[in-house]
Amino acid sequence: MQQKIKLFILGYYGFGNWGDELSLRAVLGDLERIREELNLPFFYQVLYRESDFLLPLPENAFPLERDSFFSVLQAIKSSDYILVGGGSLLQDVTSFRSLLYYFSLLRWAQLWNKKVIFYRVGLGPLIRRESRFLVSRLLRKSSLSIFRDEESLNLALDLGTPSSFLGADPLFSWGGKEKKEEGEKVALFVRSFPEENREALYRAFLRFSKVEEKRLEIVAFHPEKDREIAKDIAQYLRCPCVILSQFSQIIPYFEKLKAVFTLRLHPAILATLLDIPWFALDLDPKIRAFSEWWGEENLLSFSDLEENRLEEVYQRRDILRERGKEVKRELKQKSEDSVKILGEFLKNAEKVR
């Protein structure tokens, strides 16, 4: 019997953001595909916060709560590979403390000579000098790094990362499907944003809701963080509020849509996979990097909202939908390439282990 190959997988899992939970599902899908193709006996441990948000895992995968730092370190020490899957784990905008936590885990892994893999991840922003120093130390000693966008790859190269590749967000492992008919609803996926910009958003979407009559809905994609702001905006605009609190709601909801406006990245990715035109407010470097595939034609600033450009940009949705189909094909190919690169790496690493 072959000895089990232990992979420890970490990301922002169990925090209630469906984008991260879907990324975990896609990463595990890639690994299971590699396991079957190469006949490798993988065993996974997945670091998470709350099981309420954790999607069903393969039978050879087990969740590990992050409550005890030393228990997590022990799991890392007993693993063969440490894989950071999807998301932008190494950034200091959300929290420098969070960066220190993940740096500590990954640095211990490297000190124990574990192979650390960054798989289809984003990188940054890194606004502190000390953050860049710490992340550079990790990346320089990484065994394999595949980044989901050029902005992250370029930052990694600036920090001295060896063996770096350009891939695609893990969600593109799910090829999506072409919608047979256009949906009826228009969704605005919200999150917290600067208070001084709230009036511009209110005015723009109040005008837009009159154009689209009863089709506009305000959506919380990250229920824990977006629920209250979604309710506030929906109340002001006098339109329905949708809280995506269950995984089973997500795809059926998207299939009802004819267009997406978003302040979060993964609604834009899901819209692309389902051939739905999308538009985003320029709040997040991750969204800006993804929008570059469309020449940033679907990117809106708050000054655009103030200048009444929302309806003008919205009229380009058919053109953007067709461009999205091309983008989906290109990123699906990069997704395939990412799986092959990881598979080759693991096959070669196992030969010498």
Bridge partners of residue 257, in order along the sequence: 185
Query: Under CATH, what is the fold of the domain 5-174+331-352?
Result: Rossmann fold (3.40.50)
pLDDT in tens, the chain (353 residues): 578 999 999 999 988 899 999 999 999 999 999 999 999 999 999 999 876 667 888 999 999 998 889 999 999 999 999 999 999 999 998 889 999 999 999 999 999 999 999 999 999 999 999 999 999 999 999 999 999 999 999 999 999 998 799 999 999 998 666 665 778 999 999 999 999 999 999 999 999 988 887 899 999 999 999 999 999 999 999 999 999 999 889 999 999 999 999 999 999 999 999 999 999 999 889 999 999 999 999 999 998 888 788 989 999 999 999 999 999 999 999 999 999 999 999 999 998 87
Q: Give phi and psi for 34, each to the nearest 5.
A: -65, -40
CA distance 307 to 77: 56
CA distance 266 to 284: 12
Q: Rg of the Cα trace of the chain?
A: 21
CATH code given to domain 185-315: 3.40.50.2000
* Domain range annotation of the chain: 5-174+331-352, 185-315
User: Residue 178 burial by CB count (10 A; 0-12/13-18/19+): exposed, middle or buried?
Assistant: exposed
CA distance 161 to 141: 8
**Identical fold at 5-174+331-352 and 185-315?**
yes
